[in-house]
Chain A
Amino acid sequence: MRAELPFLGLMALVAIAFPLSDARAYLDPGTGSFILQMLLGGIAGMAVVGKLYWTKLKLALSRALSGRSASDDAENHE
């Protein structure tokens, strides 16, 4: 399971950025279900995901350099 985590984290970003409000349903499908379905569907948007991951990395680096930790940021979103 541990080995999959970076990939899962990557996929998680898809869910954050995907405009869920675009879905027609009045129901929130939930990010876990959404990313799972992207995984099951074979993921056409790997390039987009790669770009996201790169952006995420840059953000994390810039935070680290500016003295703020990523975990601080995460807590702010809890």
Chain B
Amino acid sequence: MTVVRPDPGSFRDPSGQVFRRGNGIFRTVAARAAADYEFVRDSGLFDRLSSKGLVLSTAEVSPDVLGPVAAASRYLLQHPLIRFISYPYEWSFPALKAAAVLHLDVQLEALEAGVSLSDATAYNVQFNGPRPVFIDHLSFRRYRDGEIWAGHRQFCEQFLNPLLLRAFLGVPHNAWFRGSQEGLPTAELNRLLPLRRKLGWNVLSQVVLPTTLERSTRTATAALASDKLGTLKLPRSSYRALLQRLRDWIVRLDPADTGKTVWRDYAGNHSYQSDEVKAKAAFVGEMAAAVRPGILWDLGCNSGDYSKAALAAGAQYAVGFDFDHGALEAAFARAKAEELAFLPLLMDAANPSPSQGWAERERQGLAARASADAVLALAFVHHLAIGRNVPLDRLIDWLVGLAPTGVVEFVPKSDPMVRRMLQLREDVFDDYTEDAFLSAVGERARIVKSLIVSAAGRRLVWFDRSE
């Protein structure tokens, strides 16, 4: 029998826990959460939301299916597998924005059905390609008349504030969010925002006031407990208006740094010829058609040309990684417009997301999520070998270790791109040669096919270590 593993990130809410067995994802529903679950299920809300693609679909299965770990559970739910788990600090601005809008849409529809959400964590949103989906069925509770939005602060810290950081200050949220997993504290954003930004009602009500109020309560006396205060309520119409107003605001947010980032116009301006791009796409397509990878990783995906080629040729799902925000935003927009099964994520290959959070296991690092059936690394190796001084041999070792097969491009020193990288620095890269590259790959895998794709001598290599 396949091993049942508890999801190390599923522990905060005692209402239930997520387990994985093989490719099956299961969620227990504890006795304490059963009444809420039954109410929401019977209201038809889960069905409505999942038919619209807003919430992950779910099916009740017998707790016996999972064995002893689910024995005390009232219900056991099974969900479809998310192809690649990603975290908000890996999302591009438009992805985080889409996730924020999804959260609010789910809440607005839930509220109509007399249901509220117990939290507003961004980690409860995952992506299927560019489409966000809400994954936590145990966040849904019966709405109680007059209750406040308990997740409001969390929503601000994990969705709104990171978006405002980029929209108002032109600073991407990713590095800060990665270091501060609960998101960006409102008080800290308040300190950063210039006065002119604070004059509008949205910022005043969502950033300035909560900060001021929070500070006031810290310095005031706590001697005034009164049971009568339990009667204070937030009317449902105000709850709805708060959600709707945030939604209207967030939909309008765009990055403030409209200038070009390093790669935004790469597809139009780079030193390749379009014949070269076509040749590469054909090479990638040949590999994808032969391998038919369930999951393809595309390192240095840029705007997703080669992921798209691989998907067209037979890959089922592509996860792209790039460190450039402009490229990722272009890739996300393309995946959305062309309905590609392609999820572009922010990742610096020289410093990938680490395993972190509680016990360093709550959020998994890139290595712990390694699941690729095939990898692409086009116009990638020189950025790490020369741009980041990673020794070529170690770099190839890492790359070939990511997936049993894939396509890697070698860009020689004679290429205009590499020449430019070396223009202002000493060339200390004696080992950066095509021979060294080919022998590093050859030591670890069979070279299925190899092709020169540019006049300057760029070479593609299809490796396979699966045999």
Contacts and interface: CB of A to CB of B under 8 A. Distances in A.
Interface stretch (B106-114, B223-231, B290-298, B408-416): B223-231
Interface residues of A, number: 47
Interface in A2-26: 5, 8-9, 11-19, 22-26
B224 A37 contact: no
B118 A27 contact: yes
Interface in B126-158: 141, 144, 147-154, 156
A69 interface: no
B148 A29 contact: yes
The interface centre, meaning the residue of A13, A32, A38 with most chain B CB atoms within 10 A of its CB, is A32
B213 A18 contact: no
B269 interface: no
A5 B220 CA distance: 13
B229 A17 contact: yes
Interface in B380-413: none
A45 to B, nearest CB: 4
B211 A32 contact: yes
A8 B212 contact: yes
A7 B334 CA distance: 49
B339 to A, nearest CB: 35
A42 interface: yes
The interface centre, meaning the residue of B211, B213, B226, B241 with most chain A CB atoms within 10 A of its CB, is B213
B271 interface: no
A40 B119 CA distance: 19
B242 A16 contact: no
B217 interface: yes
B234 interface: yes
A14 B153 CA distance: 17
Interface string B149-180: 11111101000000000000000000000000
A29 B213 CA distance: 13
B216 to A, nearest CB: 4
A2 B385 CA distance: 57
Contacts of B154: 27
Contacts of A73: 221
Contacts of A1: 208, 212
Interface of A: 1, 5, 8-9, 11-19, 22-27, 29-45, 48, 51-52, 55-56, 59, 70, 73-74, 77-78
Given A30-B153, A41-B238, A45-B228, 11 more contacts: A9-B216, A23-B150, A30-B214, A37-B149, A42-B238, A45-B229, A45-B232, A48-B232, A51-B226, A56-B224, A77-B221
Interface of B: 12-15, 118-119, 141, 144, 147-154, 156, 186, 205, 208-235, 238-239, 241-242
Q: Which 6 A-B pairs have the closest CB atoms?
A: A32-B214, A12-B216, A32-B210, A25-B150, A33-B153, A30-B153
